[in-house]
């Protein structure tokens, strides 16, 4: 197995007119594995996290942890994180700007060190995602938090204490940071209106195995009783529901037949229901599902909401399905204000999309037209590739390093499902800065 590295910027070319058909297995969820790696900082010793995806973001998080003083060793689909007694409580800008998820070290470092400096995060260009709820919650636990010179600086020289926290919105990132800070705080912390995503439940499962006392995982309220110390563990990451959902919509869009393994289909209940409403046949098993679409999809209205609602990360695929559906679909984005950025690229493939505020009216076409497009974020990149399969020729997708941040072996999985696809080094182009 080659070492996990950060790849060069390439292009992907796909030939349209194919029906996705076959079986594919998803591995660990990116949005869980990254935070599990951060959670390992809470215990001195070596924690092992298995079923991790071999993607760029995992490599970046590994380097973030190394610079904090941990030893990180990747071996096939697992990572060993050896955490020393003393950590360096500062996450530098040059890595944090490339990986927004690295803000999740804020809570663990504050709990372990009593102080932390984390650069303001970067990440995908999908809209504003402030840290107000992170800051307000930590303040309720006794921390002093401010910004200086591009860093979030938090201190709690006498340690954190329990408190009552109510989130304005069920933010995944704020929930993660606050629960990871609370597990080592004195007393009991009650966090209301928390995120309920399966990835949050997975983090709580690992923390409980480490010795934390957490009640309410998967509900809208978490009760955390602080403990003096945690112990390292071995923990398996849950399957990636967003990758699984990508293949589900790919099957629906191309009128194909795809079985996805390694995922609890209940985590995709709303998305799979929408595909069924569009005319697809969906069959469930314990850790797999099958999607078949015999005819052109029917128009279906979709709106994104926090879990258990329709996931915002699947919005590009939902708009892709609407762009080839029979009729007019109304797609509403309620989470990120910049999620529709990729729609301009989808229009280059002939999609009929009209955007007003956080609504997109999409009138489906029988077939899209092939073109050259550019990915702006992880899910937009995957969505454009799948949309290219509905084109009338070869579609070239640029900036596919974004896809590498969320989809391991994306090209290999496409080939296994019958796609004619190539990946090549991107030609120099000053317009794109490659």
* Digit-coded pLDDT (tens) for 33-58: 999 999 999 999 999 999 999 998 89
The percentage of residues in the chain with a pLDDT greater than 90, rounded to a whole number, is: 82
Residue 366 CA to residue 376 CA, distance in Å, equals 26
Whether residue 331 contacts residue 303, with contact meaning beta carbons closer than 8 Å, is answered with yes
Q: Is there a catalytic annotation at residue 124?
A: yes
* Digit-coded pLDDT (tens) for 353-389: 999 999 999 999 999 999 999 999 999 999 999 999 9
Using only the alpha carbons of the chain, give its radius of gyration.
21
pLDDT over threshold 50, residue 434: no
Beta strands 221-225 and 21-25: pairing type?
A: unpaired
Q: What is the pTM of this model?
A: 0.92
Catalytic residue, candidates 10, 124, 264, 377: 124
DSSP string, 151-169: EEEEE-TT--B--EEE-SS
Sheet holding 21-25, edge to edge: 21-25, 257-261, 288-292, 281-284
The per-residue pLDDT for 123 is 41
Give the domains, in start order, of the chain with CATH numbers: 10-26+240-425 (3.65.10.10), 30-236 (3.65.10.10)
**Can you tell me the mean pLDDT for 301-315?**
96
The per-residue pLDDT for 428 is 57
Residue 119 CA to residue 116 CA, distance in Å, equals 10
Whether residue 341 contacts residue 315, with contact meaning beta carbons closer than 8 Å, is answered with no
Residue 317: strand, helix, or coil: helix
Higher model confidence: residue 60 or residue 246? Answer: 246
The per-residue pLDDT for 252 is 98
Farthest CA pair distance, the chain: 64
**Can you tell me the mean pLDDT for 334-361?**
91
Residue 191 CA to residue 187 CA, distance in Å, equals 13
């Amino acid at each position: 197995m080659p070492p996990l590295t950060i790849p060069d910027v390439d292009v992907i070319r796909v030939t349209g007119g194919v029906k996705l058909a076959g079986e594919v297995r998803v591995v660990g969820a990116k949005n869980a594995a990254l935070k599990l790696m951060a959670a390992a900082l809470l215990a001195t010793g070596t924690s092992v996290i298995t079923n991790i995806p071999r993607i760029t973001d995992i490599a970046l998080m590994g380097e973030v942890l190394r610079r904090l003083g941990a030893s990180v060793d990747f071996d096939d689909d697992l990572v060993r994180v050896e955490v020393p007694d003393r950590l360096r409580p500062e996450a530098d800008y040059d890595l944090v700007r490339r990986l927004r998820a690295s803000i999740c070290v804020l809570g663990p470092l504050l709990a372990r060190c009593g102080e932390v400096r984390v650069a303001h995060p970067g990440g995908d260009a999908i809209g504003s995602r402030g840290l107000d709820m992170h800051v307000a919650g930590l303040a309720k636990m006794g921390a002093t938090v401010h910004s200086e010179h591009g860093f979030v600086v938090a201190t709690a020289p006498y340690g954190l204490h329990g408190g009552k926290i109510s989130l304005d919105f069920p933010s995944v990132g704020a929930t993660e940071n606050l629960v990871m800070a609370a597990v080592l705080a004195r007393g009991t912390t009650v966090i209301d209106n928390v995120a309920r995503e399966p990835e949050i439940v997975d983090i709580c499962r690992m923390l409980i195995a480490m010795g934390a006392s957490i009640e309410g995982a998967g509900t809208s309220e978490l009760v955390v009783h602080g403990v003096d110390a945690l112990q390292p563990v071995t923990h398996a990451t849950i399957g990636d529901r967003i990758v699984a959902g990508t293949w589900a919509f790919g099957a629906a869009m191309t009128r194909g037949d795809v079985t996805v393994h390694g995922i609890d289909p209940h985590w995709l209940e709303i998305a799979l229901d929408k595909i069924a409403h569009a005319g697809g046949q969906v069959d469930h098993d314990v850790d797999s599902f099958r999607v078949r679409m015999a005819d052109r999809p029917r128009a279906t209205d979709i709106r994104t909401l926090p879990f258990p609602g329709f996931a915002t990360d699947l919005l590009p695929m939902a708009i892709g399905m609407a762009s080839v559906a029979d009729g007019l679909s109304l797609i509403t984005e309620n989470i990120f204000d910049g999620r529709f950025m990729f729609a301009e690229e989808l229009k280059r493939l002939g999609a009929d999309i009209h955007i007003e505020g956080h609504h997109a009216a999409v009138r489906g076409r029988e077939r899209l037209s092939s073109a050259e497009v550019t990915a702006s974020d992880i899910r937009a990149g995957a969505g454009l590739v799948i949309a290219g399969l509905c084109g009338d020729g070869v579609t070239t997708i640029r900036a596919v390093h974004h896809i590498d941040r969320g989809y391991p072996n994306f090209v290999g999985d496409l080939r296994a499902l019958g796609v004619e696809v190539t990946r090549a080094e991107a030609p120099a182009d000053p317009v794109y800065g490659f």
